Chains A and B, each alone.
Chain A
């Protein structure tokens, strides 16, 4: 372990503060999913990922990460800033004119850490597969990680990709699903049920693991374990149960905060629950 669980939880707390402040600052964006994935991003970038903050697009010899559900960009931007990819003061520009921190992540403004645009859903797994194929051709034994929303799996392209990855034995591909059961129009069970994601992915030939995405110990151990599964010819799917809005009591347990910004009063109530550990931007 590079960090103790407590240290990682402190980082996640700061990232959560950043998320609600960023979304409040521009009065738009997606706080719910961002908060729910703060622990995952912390575990990934501060513990699991072998990565270089001196960013290169090609990422030769390092692990890569692709965010498929691009609307949770605030959590990624804050993570990248605290991991040293760019100065945290830039977080104040989120979703504002002339910013590198676009509403959805993009390479277009050359923000370090981003390797492909995402936002239109369902495309990230295919891109990650491509990156994994190139790593294989380059004899580069690094890993490729992704994150997907659960609602996002309603997009058909995911299942084209899900069929491809096991067939090509991409066992250095580790995909995580933000399994919070919520989407914009309501619970996934009511909008379009995903039924058993575990059974679906296993039927496609994936090795499925289950983690608690809001328990730092669980997510760190799960991602480390996922890396040890290499060599069996199966891509790994991390079904990561999360709470949308995790860390802010009034945002939890509802889809209401999927794409809504807090007002001044709500911001204060959120920040009171999230200790400032690394210094606000």
Chain B
């Protein structure tokens, strides 16, 4: 198992804030909008340096999405910011008609995704957003795994022409990816090469997959770990290549097992290479109040759950 270390913990939303600021410096057409959550979205640096390119919309997310769609007409590249719940479910039809169907170059940037939002509870913890967004034709869906990857992803989507959903989170987590990485949309990152099982993880679950990989190594299981940061378009080639070698797969995501990364992988495998698969994901449930760590444990999203899923799926191999 390749050794991953970290010297600091940071939140992925701060990676977004840093990326947005840098994207703003690089391209004067980058503009930002927020629905009364500037601090939570870490937009302060962008606003300080480019006040005229920031629009405070107030608590009116539907209006924000429509305004963002309109701002593309004339060449702007709008980044909208609010919590993941209010970025997707609340404004699904606005995204569907004014952004996706109209093919507008809007970047929907969503913080506080999943259970790790914590104490606010289920009204704010969306576990369905990946599914909602990936079903929209033409929508790119990205869920980066740490501060550095989120920053790189933010810079990459500024250069990509078309609608994007970028999902990130609230808690501080280890920073373990290369600060100078080049982020390629739709390209998987090989975290660790192995032979016994393919673990495919996205977002906050990537570090947990690394922790699981270390435990599995102690048990004599050689796990291949792949980071899928881009859930759509999915890197079919990387997944098929790995699964051909290992013969089984575990998918890990901080999201409902219905409609998430796991289902995208299952759809690929069932048509191209039928393979035993286990899902580490929430099981058709809402969340609740608690600390992020408590919630990840209660809802089965810890390294120990990945280890158990790996043992189970290896047992299902023919």
Contact A138 B67, beta carbon cutoff 8 Å: no
B60 within 8 A of partner (CB) = yes
Point out the residues of chain A lying under 8 angstroms from B70, CB to CB: 66, 116, 126-134
User: Does B4 sit within 8 A of A, measured CB to CB?
Assistant: no
A125-160 residues with Cβ-Cβ distance < 8 A to B are 125-135, 137-138, 140, 156-157, 160
* Residue A64 lies at the interface, judged by CB distance under 8 Å to chain B: yes
Kindly state the separation between the CA atoms of A135 and B101 in the bound complex, as whole angstroms: 23
Assuming the contacts A117-B98, A117-B101, A126-B65, asked whether A131 and B74 have C-beta atoms less than 8 A apart, the reply is yes
B77-94 interface with A by 8 A CB criterion = 78, 93-94
Distance in angstroms from B263 CB to nearest chain A CB is 26
Query: B13: CB under 8 A from chain A?
Result: no
Which residues of chain B (40-87) have a CB below 8 Å from chain A? 52-53, 55, 57-58, 60, 62-76, 78
Chain B interfacial residues counted at CB < 8 A: 32
A-facing residues in B111-153 (Cβ within 8 Å):
none
**A126 adjacent to B67 (CB under 8 Å):** yes
B96 surroundings in chain A (CB, below 8 A): 120
Bound-state CA distance A134–B58 (Å) is 18
**Contact flag A164-B63 (CB < 8 Å), given A107-B102, A130-B68:** yes
* Residue A60 is within 8 A (CB to CB) of chain B in the complex: yes
A133/B62 in contact, CB under 8 A: no
- Which residues from chain A contact B67 at a C-beta distance below 8 Å? 126-127, 129-130, 133, 161, 164
Q: Chain B residues with Cβ under 8 A from A120's Cβ?
A: 93, 96-97
Give A84 Cβ to nearest chain B Cβ, in Å.
21
Tell me whether B74 and A59 are in contact (CB under 8 A).
yes
Q: B266 contacts the other chain (Cβ, under 8 Å)?
A: no
In the assembled complex, how far is the CB of residue B174 from the closest CB belonging to chain A, in whole angstroms? 38
Question: Is A194 close to B, CB under 8 A?
Answer: no
A119 at the interface (CB under 8 A from B): yes
B93 CB contacts on chain A under 8 angstroms: 120, 123
Q: How far is A60 from B73 in the complex, measured between Cα atoms in Å?
A: 9
Among A235-264, those with CB < 8 Å from B are none
CA of A108 to CA of B270, assembled, Å: 31
A interface residue numbers (CB < 8 A to B): 57-60, 64, 66, 106-108, 115-120, 123-135, 137-138, 140, 156-157, 160-161, 163-164
Give chain B's interface residues, CB within 8 Å of chain A: 31, 52-53, 55, 57-58, 60, 62-76, 78, 93-94, 96-98, 101-104
What are 8 residue pairs bridging A and B, where the CB atoms are less than 8 Å apart in the complex? Answer: A58-B73, A60-B75, A106-B101, A126-B62, A130-B78, A131-B71, A133-B71, A160-B60
